[in-house]
Amino acid sequence: MAKLLFLQNIDYEFLGPMYISSMAKKYGHLCELALGKSLSDFDFVIKKFEPDLVGFSIMSGSHQWAREIGREINDQYGITNIFGGSHPTFFPKFIEEKGVDYIIRGEGEESMLEILNCIDKKESFHHVQNLSHMQGNTPVHNPLRNLNNNVDEYPFPDRNLFDALEKRLDRSVRNVITSRGCPFHCSFCFEDAMRKLYQGKGKYVRIREIPEVIEECKRLKEETDVKVIYFADDVFGMKKDWLYDFLKIYKREIGIEFICLLRADIIASDKKYAFKLAEAGCRSVFFGIESGNEILRNKVLKKQLKDEQILKAAELLHEAGIKFRTYNILGLPDETLEDAFSTVELNISIKADYPWCSIFSPFPGTELTDYAYLKGYLSPTFNYERLSKSFFLESKLELENIREMQNLQKFFQTAVIWPWTFSIIKKLIKLPSNFLFRAWFGLVYFYLYIKSEKRDFIPTLKFALKNYKHVLAKQ
């Protein structure tokens, strides 16, 4: 039996560690998770649990924190660490940084299990697929294993992993994924990069069997006090036949309100789609518009989504009584201030209930980041140490009118929800960025987040204050 301890600084139930934990436990290993910010927050659990390995699940922006904690744990307790998630997957050079012992690229269930088995047998695990480590001063990146074609072979995510932290979490909304991978090629997205990484390693888009998903939801319903299920797939219901069969059974056997992430073109392609979602208990959906400029959206972002499809989807969702969140990005390569205004206008015209907007962040490994370098928007000296903790902060691109776009992002939701403010906002954004703009953004964001995800007020407020304080800080 080997012992793995996950450490995390965001008060949110991450599915990645939950999947890895259930696999580890199934084969007799122990796995725990602790939340905190500094080493002292973890001292108690490290001494009590005495892990063989400390694991971090990281996105770009939390890598700096995780690496520092990993290094301190090396120094103070002599415990080895391992990092997985999107940042090490797309920035494997991370292995060369001080404080990083091992990384796993891509999906991690089997590799982590093999590592724990080796630790148990006191054998070296340096041969394990997907693993990177340093041999002296040379990084060694082992090849990736083939993708598991049948993700239902994995046990359901370990919903007990966060039990000890119950008081810190909002557990009224629980995440479930019904598929892995996405068939689209958006140039700004991790999914397109992930598919390229796994080329020749098996089928990338894998949809789970309906009875398995229903069984997972059933257990959630019976064993927890879940109020809303969030289907956090990249594109929920990408296969209509699958979705319609699933919804029938979901309504009958689960019946819990749900929210989901999907694409506007799929909703627009079939008049029945939105109604069937509504009938089965869906109250909100989330989809990406990204930019109001159709050419930018499709030529640069490669979203494959027409204005007319967005308009149609919105109309059908309104008719079906489903509210929707739209994802938008400002500060994109090649974007002008007029384009940014057109993104606001498109959201106003479709009466988006929960508009949402970020500033383009050059995440590693994506085609759009390469494009930003190529076109000179991103300085050749830019490195991921300088990446913001959140994509609600400042842009890293050298673009004309970038200050106005950054400010517009802070007022994006206001302009869409209360369109009469837009003309005033157009003037306000010329001012220097300041605390009041950020504080206003924080308030409106929080209000719409609670409404769109039906979250409980107090735990969400605590989550926001703990994890997103930096959005208010001076940039």
In the complex, the residues that contact ligand B12 under the rule CB under 6 A are 10, 12, 14-17, 19-20, 55, 57, 59-62, 82-87, 90, 104, 107-109, 112, 177, 189-191, 232, 234, 363-364, 389-391
**Residue closer to ligand SF4, measured from CB, 327 or 382:** 327
Locate tokens 């959630």: which residue? 220
According to the binding rule CB under 6 A, does residue 181 interact with ligand SF4? no
CB of 235 to ligand SF4, least distance (A): 6
Question: How does DSSP classify residue 127?
Answer: T
**Could you tell which of ligand B12, ligand SF4, none binds residue 186, using a CB distance below 5 to 8 A set by kind?**
ligand SF4
Cα–Cα distances (Å) from 95 to 61, 63, 99, 131, in that order, read 16, 11, 9, 10
Q: How far apart are CA 259 and CA 471, in angstroms?
A: 26
How many whole angstroms separate alpha carbon 82 and alpha carbon 281?
A: 40
Contact 238, 177 (CB under 8 A): no
Judged by beta carbon distances under 5 to 8 A according to partner kind, the member of ligand B12, ligand SF4, none in contact with residue 23 is none
CB nearer ligand SF4, residue 184 or residue 341: 184
- Residue pair 229/277 in contact (Cβ under 8 Å)? The answer is no
- Reading the block at residue 248, the tokens are 């029938």
Q: Is 254 in the site for ligand SF4 (CB under 6 A)?
A: no
* Min CB(121)–ligand SF4 separation in Å: 39
Q: Which range in 180-188, 373-381, 419-427, 440-448 contacts ligand SF4 by CB under 6 A?
A: 180-188
288 binds, among ligand SF4, ligand B12, none (CB under 5 to 8 A by kind): ligand SF4
Would you say 135 and 95 are in contact if contact means Cβ atoms under 8 Å apart?
Answer: no
Alpha helices by DSSP H, 256-326: 264-268, 271-279, 294-295, 307-320
Query: Which C-beta is closer to ligand B12: that of 219 or that of 272?
Result: 219
- Verify binding: residue 415, ligand SF4, rule CB under 6 A: no
Which of these segments, 183-191, 246-254, 403-411, 446-454, binds ligand SF4 (CB under 6 A)? 183-191
Whether 267 and 278 have beta carbons less than 8 Å apart is answered as no
Q: Measured between alpha carbons, how far is 405 from 469 in angstroms, rounded to an integer?
A: 21
* CB-nearer residue toward ligand B12: 159 or 312: 159
List, in sequence order, the alpha helices (H) in 78-184.
86-90, 109-120
**287 forms part of the interface with ligand SF4 (CB under 6 A):** no
By the criterion CB under 6 A, which residues form the site for ligand SF4?
182, 184, 186, 189, 191-192, 234-235, 263, 288
